[in-house]
Amino acid sequence: MFHFLCASTKKEASRLAADLAIDLLKKNPEAVLGLATGSSPLDFYADLVEANKAGQISFKKVKSVNLDEYVGLAPDHDQSYAYFMHENLFDKVDILPENTHLPSGTAKDLDAECRRYHELLLEVGTPDLQVLGIGNNGHIGFNEPADVFPENTSAVTLTESTIRANSRFFSSMDEVPKMAISMGVGEILRAKKILLLAFGTAKAEILEKALFGEVTPRVPASILQTADEVYICADDEAMAVIREKHGAIA
């Protein structure tokens, strides 16, 4: 079931998403959060940092699990997702470092690391809220279009289009990692609430396809149609195709 948190700009829409998370953390200060990287959650994290600074919420008892990490990048690499999380959230709020978790991109044995992360997810517990972005090809986490939905954490080979999209953060295409470790779709769907953030014209087509098209592993985000409580946080640009085809639903 989809609930829409829409506003004209990314900043305003992100505020609505942050309010959802702030409310959740006020009610449950021991919440488990599933976290995402990318440009989509930046304003959302900034609002959470502000609420923490203002004393409205505390992360002292919060536990977090991240969706994914690039294979080959150590946490001190400025394009690693561990680095991103420290820069944009962990180092700016009162979360305890030992309560934050990401897959290790530098593990020697990738299969063993995937198994370890799966076990860790079970141990940390069901996320109260899972934050997601959406890739231009419909990926969630790094679950790329495929023949089946990957159930559990796995090592994935990134598609050409994802490597191209993510090359904007690296000095050249060659530097973009070609693999990642990603939480599986089954693990993502365990969350009690899911928050999908999508902003800008580039996401308009794929957002419509994911939310209203066929449920298929060719569009990994389409699996969200089967989840109970999904919040779609989008700006006017990202909502354009949905509104064009399905009317003013939000």
Question: Which residue minimizes CB distance to ligand GLP?
Answer: 133
CA pair distance 223, 28, nearest whole angstrom: 27
Return the number of the residue (118 or 203) whose C-beta is nearest ligand GLP. 203
CA pair distance 50, 57, nearest whole angstrom: 9
Binding mask 88-117 for ligand GLP (x = CB under 6 A): ------------------------------
Does 174 qualify as catalytic in the annotation?
A: no
135 forms part of the interface with ligand GLP (CB under 6 A)? yes
Asked if 187 and 121 count as a contact pair (C-beta separation under 8 A), the reply is: yes
Q: Identify the residue among 34, 38, 105, 150 touching ligand GLP (CB under 6 A).
A: 38
Tokens of 192: 């009690």
Tokens of 189: 């769907």
127 forms part of the interface with ligand GLP (CB under 6 A)? no
Nearest distance in Å: CB 134, ligand GLP:
6
Residue 3 sits at φ, ψ, to 5 deg, of: -120, 135
Nearest distance in Å: CB 32, ligand GLP:
18
40 forms part of the interface with ligand GLP (CB under 6 A)? yes
Neighbours of 8 (CB within 10 A): 11
Return the number of the residue (171 or 247) whose C-beta is nearest ligand GLP. 171
Return the number of the residue (61 or 75) whose C-beta is nearest ligand GLP. 75
Tokens of 8: 């004209």
Does 139 qualify as catalytic in the annotation?
A: yes
150 forms part of the interface with ligand GLP (CB under 6 A)? no
Binding mask 50-79 for ligand GLP (x = CB under 6 A): -----------------xx-----------
The secondary structure element, H or E, covering residue 194 is strand 193-198
Using CA atoms, how far residue 47 sits from 24, 106, 178, 225, in Å, is 14, 31, 32, 28
Does 246 qualify as catalytic in the annotation?
A: no
CA pair distance 241, 249, nearest whole angstrom: 12
CA angle 34, 145, 32 (to 5 degrees): 5
Does 147 qualify as catalytic in the annotation?
A: no
Return the number of the residue (57 or 82) whose C-beta is nearest ligand GLP. 82
Distance of CA 120 to the CA centre of its chain: 18
Task: Kindly identify the residues of this chain, within the stretch 151-180, that bind ligand GLP according to CB under 6 A.
Answer: 162, 166
Nearest distance in Å: CB 58, ligand GLP:
26
Asked if 99 and 88 count as a contact pair (C-beta separation under 8 A), the reply is: no
User: Could you give the residue numbers annotated as active site?
Assistant: 68, 137, 139, 144
Residues that bind ligand GLP (CB under 6 A): 36-40, 67-68, 133-135, 141-142, 162, 166
